[in-house]
Amino acid sequence: MTFKMRHSLALSALVCVGLSLATAADAKTFKWANSGDVSSMDPYARNETFLLTFTSNIYDPLVRRDKDLKLEPALAVKWGQTDPTTWFFDLRQGVKFSDGTPFTAADVVFSLNRANGPGSNLGGNFVSVKEIKKINDHRVEVITKYPDPLLADKWAAIAMMSKAWAEKNNAVNSADMTKNEENFATRNAMGTGAFMLKERRAGERTVLVPNPGWWDKAQHNLTEVIFTPVANPATRVAAIKAGDIDMMYEVPPADTESLKREANVQVIEGPETRVVFLGFDQERPELLESNVKGKNPFKDKKVREAIHRSIDVDAIKRTVMRGQSFPTNLMVAPGINGYTKDLDKRPALLKPEEAKKMLADAGYPNGFEVGMDCPNDRYVNDEKICQAVVAMLARIGIKVNLLAQTRSKYFAKILRKGDYKPGDTSFYMLGWSPAATYDVHNVFEQLIQTPSAQTKKGLFNAGGYSNPAVDKLADAMEQETDKAKRDAMIKDATKLYVDDFAYIPLHQQAVVWAARKNIELVQLADNSFPLRFVQVK
C-alpha cells in the first residue's frame, strides 16, 4: 500500500468518525443483525439462547447474570434457602411495568406458573418445584420436592411478565402449537426491562426504545435499537462494511480476517461456553455401521484412548478453525460452575505407529471401518472438523465413512428416542452448553450418566457411556448444598470420565462478533448479547 492510499484511508476513517459523532449528539440509534430472527416475543416460547437474551432486554428476571455470568440482583434483591427444600425471593420495591402498573409477588407467581405451563418450553426448570407461594406483596417462597441448590441459577433465564397484562390480552398461556390461534404475547411484549418493544415485524425488523421508568440505572446511551435478520453471511459482512448496521451478532469464520482489516470495524472474540466433542456408541454389542462383527470396538477403553490421542485438536484449531477455537479435554468450559482447571490437560498425542500398536493390542491389528455422523450447519465448521478427524484416523488404520447432513436430519438420526432407545449412530459429533444452570451437573445428567427411562438421565448420552461410580456421584451432587463437598464430588466424577476416555472433547468454538469502531459492548461467554451494556460513541 502506498503512502498516499494509506493517507486517504485514514482521512476517510476520520470523516466517518466525525460523521458518527455529529449524528450521535441527537439520536443514538443502534442497528444490529443476526442470521435469523427471534422466533417469538414470548419469553417462554423457546428454550434457546437467542430468544431468551433478546426478550431479556424487555423483561427482567428475578436474578440476572452480570458480565462474568455471576448472579446479581434484578427484580429480587435477596434470595436463598431457609431450609434445604425452601427457597425465598425478596422482591425489589417500587418497580413498575412499562405500562405503569406496579410489579408485585402476584406477577412472580403468575410468571413462574406460566413458564411451567402449557405452551411454555421452559418447563424443564421446574422439575424440582413442588409449590410456589406468595407470602406477601414482596416475598415469594418456593417449596421443592428435594434439595435443589441450583434453583436460582435455573431461574436467571426466566422473565417476569405482568399478570394483569397477560390476562387482559388473553395471553395467560404461551401459544399452543396444536391450536390455530394467535397469541398476543407472540408479537407483543411488556415488561419491567431496560427497553420497550416499539415495533415488531416478524422476519423483517424489531425496534426497541429505552424504558424511561426502568428501575436500574441505565449503562447504555441508546435512544433506539433496530434489529434485522440478515440470513446471508456475505450480505451481513457487506452491511457492516457499508455502515448499514452497527453490529453483527455472529461472524462467519471465513470473513473474520477481512473484517479485521476494515478500518471502521472491530472484531470481538472470546470462548463460548459450548464444548464440541465426539462420542462413541459404547452400548450396542455390535456397531451399526462397522465391518467389525460380533463385538463393539468402542467398548474397549484402549481403542477409545488410541483414537482420542490420535486427534490433533491444535492442528484443527490452526487449519480448520483459523485460530478461533479453544482446545479442551473437559466436557465443560471455563466460566461454568464445576470446571476443574487442573484436569483440563489433553494426554500426549501418539505417533501413528504407537496408536496402531495400541489398536493391535486391543485386537485390531488391521484397524477397522466405522460410520460417523456429523451436522453440517450446526456448529462452526462442523463438517470440516469431521473431515479432519477422518483424515487423522485414516493414518492409524481406521477407515471412517462420514455422513454430514443438515441439523434436523442429523439430530433425528443420532439422538435417543422418547423411550431412551439409542439413536442410529456409531461415532458422532455433538456440542453442549449447560445453558440452563451454568453448572456442570447439567452435563453429567444429560451427557454422562447412564441413559435410562426410569431415572430420566442421560437423554443426550447418545453413545450410552456408563460408569456406575460416575452415576452415583452425579446423583449426589444434584442435591448437595454444601459447596466444598459438592466441589469434591465434581472433581472425582470429572476424573472418572476423563480417565475412561468417555468422550473426545475437542474445543470450545469462539464467539465472534463484529461492530463498528464507535460501538462499545460486552460479549458474554454464553453468546448472549444484552443491550443494556451498549454505548454508541
Partner 1 sequence: MFVFILKRLLQSVAVLLAVGFVAFSLFRYVGDPINAMVGQDTSAEERETLREKLGLNDPAPIQFLTFIANAAQGKFGLSYRTSEPVGRMILERVPATLELSFCAAIFALFVGVPMGVYTGLYPRHWTSQLFQAVSLIGVSLPTFLIGIVLILIFAVWLKLLPSFGRGETVDLGWWTTNFLTWSGLKALILPSITLGLFQLTLLMRLVRSEMLEVMRTDYIKFARARGLTNRAINFGHALKNTLVPVITVAGLQLGALIAFAIVTETVFAWPGVGQLFIQSVQFADIPVMAAYLLLIGLLFVVINLTVDLLYFAVDPRLRSQGGAARVAGH
Is residue 260 a contact point for partner 1 (CB under 8 A)?
no
Is residue 412 a contact point for partner 1 (CB under 8 A)?
yes
The nearest distance, CB 354 to partner 1, in angstroms, is 37
Is residue 53 a contact point for partner 1 (CB under 8 A)?
no
Q: Which residues pair with 141 in a beta bridge?
A: 88, 133
DSSP 445: I
Angle in degrees, CA 515, 517, 518, rounded to 5: 100
Of 306 and 524, nearer to partner 1 (C-beta) is 524
Is residue 10 a contact point for partner 1 (CB under 8 A)?
no
Residue 130 C-alpha cell reads as 413442588
Is residue 181 a contact point for partner 1 (CB under 8 A)?
yes
Can you tell me which of 72, 99, 182, 361 binds partner 1, judged by CB under 8 A?
182
Can you tell me which of 419, 454, 468, 484 binds partner 1, judged by CB under 8 A?
419
Contact present, 245 and 224 (Cβ < 8 Å): no
3-state secondary structure of 10: helix
Give the span between the Cα atoms of 333 and 335, in whole angstroms: 6
3-state secondary structure of 285: coil
Is residue 246 a contact point for partner 1 (CB under 8 A)?
no
Of 239 and 393, nearer to partner 1 (C-beta) is 239
Can you tell me which of 418, 454, 468, 484 binds partner 1, judged by CB under 8 A?
418
Is residue 205 a contact point for partner 1 (CB under 8 A)?
yes
Q: Which of 182, 224, 185, 220 is nearest to 205 (CA)?
A: 224
Determine whether 454 is exposed, middle or buried from the number of CB atoms within 10 Å of its CB (0-12, 13-18, 19+). Answer: exposed
Of 187 and 517, nearer to partner 1 (C-beta) is 187
Of 205 and 357, nearer to partner 1 (C-beta) is 205
- Torsions phi, psi for 315 (to 5 deg): -65, -40
Is residue 8 a contact point for partner 1 (CB under 8 A)?
no
The nearest distance, CB 29 to partner 1, in angstroms, is 13
The nearest distance, CB 248 to partner 1, in angstroms, is 11
N-to-C CA span, the chain: 30
Of 183 and 381, nearer to partner 1 (C-beta) is 183
Q: Which residues pair with 398 in a beta bridge?
A: 368
Is residue 315 a contact point for partner 1 (CB under 8 A)?
no
Give the span between the Cα atoms of 287 and 294, in whole angstroms: 9
Can you tell me which of 95, 358, 448, 459 binds partner 1, judged by CB under 8 A?
459
The nearest distance, CB 210 to partner 1, in angstroms, is 22
Q: How many CB atoms lie within 10 A of CB 107?
A: 26
Is residue 58 a contact point for partner 1 (CB under 8 A)?
no
Can you tell me which of 184, 368, 460, 533 binds partner 1, judged by CB under 8 A?
460
Of 51 and 321, nearer to partner 1 (C-beta) is 51
Place of cell 461410580: 469
Of 122 and 396, nearer to partner 1 (C-beta) is 122
Give the span between the Cα atoms of 247 and 139, in whole angstroms: 40
Q: Which of 76, 78, 46, 48 is nearest to 60 (CA)?
A: 76
Contact present, 190 and 60 (Cβ < 8 Å): no
Q: Give one DSSP letter per residue of 393-454, joined into a string.
A: HHTTTEEEEEEEE-HHHHHHHHS--TT----S-SEEEEEE--TTTSBHHHHIIIIISPPBTT
Span from 75-83, 212-220, 225-233, 488-496 in contact with partner 1 (CB under 8 A): 225-233
**Helices vs strands, H then E, count in the chain:** 16, 19
- For the window 98-137, what string marks contact with partner 1 as x by the rule CB under 8 A? ---------------------x-xxxx-------------
Q: Which residues have C-beta within 8 Å of that of residue 365, sequence separation ≥ 6?
A: 356, 359
Is residue 446 a contact point for partner 1 (CB under 8 A)?
yes
Kind and range of the H or E element at 119?
none
Can you tell me which of 266, 420, 496, 518 binds partner 1, judged by CB under 8 A?
420
Is residue 198 a contact point for partner 1 (CB under 8 A)?
no
Q: How many CB atoms lie within 10 A of CB 481?
A: 12
Span from 176-184, 277-285, 360-368, 381-389 in contact with partner 1 (CB under 8 A): 176-184
Q: Which residues pair with 80 in a beta bridge?
A: 88
Is residue 242 a contact point for partner 1 (CB under 8 A)?
yes
Is residue 456 a contact point for partner 1 (CB under 8 A)?
yes
**Interface contacts to partner 1, rule CB under 8 A:** 33, 36-37, 39-40, 42, 45-48, 119, 121-124, 174-175, 177-183, 186-187, 201-205, 228-232, 234-236, 238-239, 241-244, 377, 406-412, 415-420, 432, 435-436, 442, 446, 453, 456, 459-460
